[in-house]
Amino acid sequence: MADQGGIRTGAGRPLGSRNRATADIKEGLSELAKTHTEAALETIVELMRDSLNDNVRLAAACSLLDRGYGKPSMTQVDNSTGHVITAFEVVADYQESDVAE
């Protein structure tokens, strides 16, 4: 009973051996999924147009935009100066305002 649990000598997969989920299997799965791209996009468009639930329609629309244009970045522009505001500046301004109070 004392040998149960913890790290044991010789336990686990030997160094250098291939994992069961090899690159060939992963690549095959990716290629199989790509064969259904058109049907998947048609389903997303159908949900966006016909769903009665606003949350489903919004999620489908966002999904289409993300696939077509990529996910939006987290930058904002200060319209008065044209300066791009980064997430770091927002956090810094927030922390400074906490100290000022």
Per-10-residue mean pLDDT for the chain, 101 residues long?
67 73 72 89 94 93 86 63 56 52 51
The pLDDT, as a whole number, for residue 85 is 55
Instruction: Identify each DSSP E strand in 1-101 by its residue range.
Output: 76-78, 83-85
pTM to 2 decimals? 0.47
**Cβ 83 vs Cβ 77: under 8 Å:** yes
> According to the model, what pLDDT value does residue 27 have?
73
70, two tokens: 């990529």
Please give the pLDDT value at position 44. Answer: 94
pLDDT at 39: 93
Give residue 9's pLDDT: 80
Q: How far out from the chain centre does Cα 33 lie?
A: 17
Q: What is the pLDDT of residue 23?
A: 65
